[in-house]
A and B are shown apart, each in its own frame.
Chain A
Amino acid sequence: MIVVGLCLLAAAMLVLGFEMFLVMGVPSIAAKYAFNPFMPDIVIIQKIVGGLGASTLLAIPFFIFAADLMTRGEIARRLTGLVKATMGHYAGGVGHTAVVSCMAFGSVCGSAPATVAALGRLLYPELLRAGYRERFSLGLIAASAECALLIPPSITLIIYGWLTGTSIAALFAGGLAVGIALGLGFMVQVQLETWRSGAKPAPRPAPGQRWQAFVAALWALGMPVIILGGIYGGIFTATEAAAVAVGYAVFVETVVFRAYGLAELVTIAERSAVTIAVVFILLGMGSLVSYFITLARVPDLLLVFLQDNHVNWVVFLLAVNVVLFVAGMFVDPNSILLVMVPALYPVSVALGIDPVHFGLVICLNICIGMITPPFGLDLFVASSTLGRPVEQIIAGIWPFVLTNILVLMIISYVPAISTALPRLLF
């Protein structure tokens, strides 16, 4: 009865627009008093602060900072320039450029909204000029940015790895395969739309232009080499790779490209720090929620229920996908991750699902939550970045949501796509 009351309290706070850290924190504090009244109150702070103390999580502030440094600098523009020079003149090339640019930026940045913010203004006018419908162009940009959450580095996968103790490097390897699969899904969609709308490719680059674009992007290309090469070469941990990414971004943007000076660098650091606070207070509150979920033996009860009903991994993943899809429409994806994974992960292990495979299924659901109306974060970022009403972006997003669901089903029921690369590498 009290549990139902607490769930209702959280739901009411959510729909009334309370800040998410309150939605997670206040019912958790109430749960402490309801179920564990003799537990010292300071456990609450211990759990919140303890949630920030894992060394794995330190990669996140660095990746957020590096993404902000690149978003406000030249790296995004130069990567896009190279992709366009390479493939823009083929049939559907401008649309494909949008998808592949998001994937390329995703390989240096672990955040989907940051990818929309960095690339949206570069890609949108090009798509319209090529003849793609406005609605399709808006949807394509918001959706393609999801690849950044899957292609390493990925903030979502780092959080999942921290919550479950799964190797970040293995998750990153799986994320690369799934990110490419999703990107290919969007490229098929671009090709169909190109035939339908008759959109024109970009003009063929003049001789030497492609080489110029490559030279211009050389410093930007160094970033994925450092991050991925460093992690898989055994030189860095994910956290160290993230710190090196910050150093490299500062060097390239301020010294090589001279995109901004010291004053702007300090401003970017300050803005990134506030973003880090927004993310990490959710992680801290998530630790608190997860603690009480474990104390209440929610995973055990869930497993007993599933075993009693003879639920196998196929049905379990279907149920997880449906629940996360619906939750993703209304709740912030990171919060879903923090609340659901501690309850679902032990069950997935008991049902024999590979932790990397389960992580990628969860991450793909988080991606879908980024673009599903009414509360998909990418929709709002695309709206503010491109200056278009959010309703117009929502109108264009549905075909991409369908592609996402199709890819999600394939990833859910063909585990090898997620697990083959990690097994090959480790």
Chain B
Amino acid sequence: MIGGALAGLRLVERALLAGILLLLSAAFILNIAVRSLLPAYASALAWVDEFGVFALAWVVFLGLGLALERRQHIAMTALRQSLGPAMRRGVVLLVNLTGLAASLYLAKLGLDIAMLVARSGQISPILNVSMVWLYAVVPIGFLFLGLRYLLALCGVAAPAPDVAAENHP
């Protein structure tokens, strides 16, 4: 049951991440193409830069949980590896507890700011959409991250053992 729900969550995260990044790339390329080839229509795509900020926020916060699950977040764990098994377990527990608490705290602050923006009715200047779209992903992203820390605490996923991630720039 939990395994199925997790697999579903992963699928949604992966689909959204790939979709948003591809859409973001396509929007910028389209913008440059239109500006170069059909300059008269360039102003019709003035929304692209603002869309870029929104899309980037979605990619960043939605990717946090998957990055933790895949052990891609940067962490210097060499010293921890040299500790005895009992000490190491203690440190891992501390890391995961802190991660869970920080994630939940930041998710709560993210929700606060999203509600505040919703109440204020703040609209983005060019896209003309509610600024909630920018902030809504913050609590979602930190909740997904907190979920991964919780799973690690329950022993469902192991904490990060390595510094390196091949994809990291």
If over half of A's interface residues share one DSSP class (helix, strand or loop), that class is named, otherwise mixed; here it is helix
Given contacts A15-B76, A19-B75, A45-B109, contact A383 B169 (CB under 8 A): no
Indicate if the CB atoms of A243 and B113 lie closer than 8 Å.
no
B32 interface neighbour in A14, A16, A236, Cβ under 8 Å? A236
Question: Chain A's nearest CB lies how many Å from the CB of B72?
Answer: 5
In this assembly, does A312 line the interface, its C-beta being within 8 Å of a C-beta of chain B? no
A: number of interface residues (CB 8 Å): 80
In this assembly, does A375 line the interface, its C-beta being within 8 Å of a C-beta of chain B? yes
Which chain A positions have C-beta within 8 A of B67?
274, 277-278, 281
Which chain B positions have C-beta within 8 A of A341?
none
In this assembly, does A279 line the interface, its C-beta being within 8 Å of a C-beta of chain B? yes
Which B residues between 75 and 99 are near A, CB-CB below 8 angstroms? 75-80, 91, 94-95, 98-99
Question: Chain B's nearest CB lies how many Å from the CB of A334?
Answer: 8
Which chain A positions have C-beta within 8 A of B57?
49, 52-53
Can you sample 11 A-B contacts with CB below 8 Å? Answer: A14-B76, A18-B95, A45-B135, A49-B138, A239-B28, A269-B17, A269-B21, A272-B167, A273-B20, A276-B63, A334-B74
- Residues of B near any A CB (own CB < 8 A): 14, 17-18, 20-22, 24-25, 28-29, 31-32, 36, 49, 52-53, 56-57, 59-64, 66-68, 70, 72-80, 91, 94-95, 98-99, 102, 105-106, 109-110, 112-113, 116, 134-135, 138, 160, 162-169
- Residues of A near any B CB (own CB < 8 A): 13-22, 25-26, 29, 41-42, 44-46, 48-49, 52-53, 55, 57-58, 60-65, 67-68, 110-114, 117, 155, 235-236, 239-240, 243-244, 246-247, 250, 265-267, 269-282, 284, 330-332, 334-335, 374-375, 377, 380-381, 383-385
**Top 8 A-B pairs ranked by shortest CB distance?**
A277-B63, A380-B164, A111-B169, A243-B28, A273-B17, A17-B77, A270-B18, A17-B80
